[in-house]
Amino acid sequence: MKTNEEVWSIVNELKALYPDSLCSLEYEKDYELLFSVRLAAQCTDERVNKVTPALYARFPTLESFAEADPAEVGEYIHSCGFFRAKAKDIVFASRMLLEQFHGKVPGTMEELLSLPGVGRKTANLVVGDIYGKPAVVTDTHCIRISGRLGLTDSKDPCKVEMQLRKLLPPEESNAFCHRLVLFGRDICSARSPRCGACPLAGICQSCEAASSAQEA
């Protein structure tokens, strides 16, 4: 595992690369972020952002989603994959938000996990982006890159989350995860990471192992 100094070096380097650290999903209302994250499961954020404008225009309020036929919602999100399950989750979550949470997206992990289709990744993103609480969003980029860097030693999302919570400064954790997404797209991709252009190569466990193998 990395030392505190190394962790801060990684945090600050990513902050310099991506100072804005914005969520790549586009939304205007709190519940739209919740639904967009559900749509992004096994789908790209880019695809979700192409689909949601028409979806949110057809169903402009939480009430309209709650009254919707899941089959019609599914027509708008078909290209996101698993559209039937996602459509049902969105409709039933809308009803639950209105009936149990007065139409507001709740701000605690326990409450969010009670909603259909919401897991820890979604809940963390919501409490981090909407409520500004410390959060660790363990998407595929986070799991891959934190492992390569030597910050974590597991591919299990929950274990990765807990390991990162112990390492990262709480006030930096949410932005750090957003930056990992951008970093993963630009440099540290799954199949062909650009290690030669990586500013973290000097403290990257994966890069160090690759260099040692070449020298052997």
- Residues catalogued as catalytic: 121, 139
Burial profile 114-142: b = 16 or more Cβ within 10 angstroms, e = fewer: ebbbbbbbbbbbbbbbbeebebbbbbebb
Give Cβ neighbours of residue 70 (< 8 Å, ≥ 6 apart).
84, 87, 88, 90, 91
Instruction: Say if residue 82 is exposed, middle or buried (CB neighbours under 10 Å; 0-12, 13-18, 19+).
Output: middle
Give Cβ neighbours of residue 104 (< 8 Å, ≥ 6 apart).
30, 97
Give Cβ neighbours of residue 210 (< 8 Å, ≥ 6 apart).
195
Question: Would you list the DSSP string of 9-33?
Answer: HHHHHHHHH-SS---SS--SSHHHH
Quote the CA–CA distance of 38 and 45 in Å, as a whole number.
11
Quote the CA–CA distance of 206 and 204 in Å, as a whole number.
6
